[in-house]
Structure 1
Amino acid sequence: MTFTYDTEVALSTAAALVNTGRSVTDALATMDGLDTFLEQQRFSGSRTRTEEELQAVRALRTELESLWFAEEDDVVGRVNRILRRTSALPQLVRHDDWDWHLHATAPEAPLADRMATEAAMALADVVRAHELDRLGVCAAADCDGVVLDLSRNRSRRFCDTGNCANRTHVKAYRARRAGT
């Protein structure tokens, strides 16, 4: 299943947001961390740059993390609650270097609401396509980062938080070499 590019970007951003809290250091511990995250994810729209905004994004991270591991019916209920809470009203927009895509909140809506709505809209597409199994956990024994598998053959096993794939493969290689 191939999703539209805006759905893939929203899902990747949601996974990246969840992973900011699943590493040793919290990447959203400070406003600078949030600024860096939003810049890396190319997230647009208004900002208040307040402690309340930072806390709202961190709360959203927790909400999305629990959604990542939920069963289909639970995901549906939570997605619908997010869409109601944020008064989502999908509209086609084109801005910056993006072609036509969906936004479901105004650019001046609170940051956490815009992020939540984009994630909820993307997760709605995942549910409708019966593709929740594309949301998983990193296969590295020493990592609990989340994985979004958008590969055609469903082969993605490692997260983007570090060098999990490389570390795991080197460890396996060394174990094989030690056994010979």
Structure 2
Amino acid sequence: MLFAPDTEEALDFVVALGNTTPGSSRSGEDELATIEQLAALLTRFTYSGRIDHDAAELDEVRETRALLRSIWGLDRDDAVEPVNRMLREARALPFLARHDGLDWHMHATPPDAPLAERIRAEMALAMTDVIRMNEMSRLRICEADNCDGLVLDLSRNGSKRFCTVRCGNRMNMIAFRERQAGT
């Protein structure tokens, strides 16, 4: 599956952000509970512009995380309304930008917009590509027991089932043990 680089980057960020929740994080804890944890997440992904590093921003990003998780894996037609709402609320005006060593890519909000608003607008832009390409099936929830991790399937055949190798290995081990018990 081939999306534009900025679309893939935005979707990768949503997976990382969404997988900080207790049901999907590696630790089983909320991995976006502190300003420091948000700062650490933002070091792995490039977000230029305003970053306040305060509790209000953390709360807004956590609310955005819940919103983006609610859209992930929706039916194509069901995703349109929340995506359009995010674009409207951000008063998105898409423009091309080049910065921080990145080639031309899309932004939809000014650099001084709040971080959570920029995250929502960039996700909405990415989702417009996914919707227009009819590829919502590439956005899934992990099939492992007791995991609700987000899965972005960019594989050629669209067969990725688990959010991490760890979940895949765990489910393979369970299946192996069930087969062994049956023989």
Instruction: Give the AA of the match of 1:131.
Output: E
Q: Distance in 2 between matches of 1:77 and 1:148?
A: 21
Give the secondary-structure state (helix, strand or coil) at the position aligned to 1:163: helix
TM-score (norm 2): 0.90
Q: Distance in 2 between matches of 1:86 and 1:153?
A: 35
Q: Distance in 2 between matches of 1:68 and 1:154?
A: 16
Instruction: Give the AA of the match of 2:17.
Output: L
- 1:76, distance to aligned residue in structure 2 (A): 0.8
Where structure 1 has 5 or more consecutive residues not aligned to the other structure, the ranges are none
User: Per-residue CA shift, 1:45-69, capped at 9, x if unaligned?
Assistant: 2211111100100110111111114
The correspondence for 1:126, drawn from 118, 130, 148, is: 130
Q: Distance in 1 between matches of 2:40 and 2:49?
A: 15
Where structure 2 has 5 or more consecutive residues not aligned to the other structure, the ranges are none
TM-score (norm 1): 0.92
Give the secondary-structure state (helix, strand or coil) at the position aligned to 1:121: helix
2:167 corresponds in structure 1 to 164
Q: Distance in 2 between matches of 1:176 and 1:72?
A: 37
1:91 aligns with 2:95: yes
- 1:70, distance to aligned residue in structure 2 (A): 2.7
Q: Distance in 1 between matches of 2:10 and 2:65?
A: 13
Q: Distance in 2 between matches of 1:41 and 1:20?
A: 14
Range with greater deviation from structure 2 (35-44 or 151-160): 35-44
Instruction: Give the AA of the match of 1:176.
Output: R
Q: Provide the alpha-carbon RMSD of the alignment.
A: 1.6
Q: Distance in 2 between matches of 1:151 and 1:88?
A: 30
Give the secondary-structure state (helix, strand or coil) at the position aligned to 1:166: helix
Identity value in percent: 50
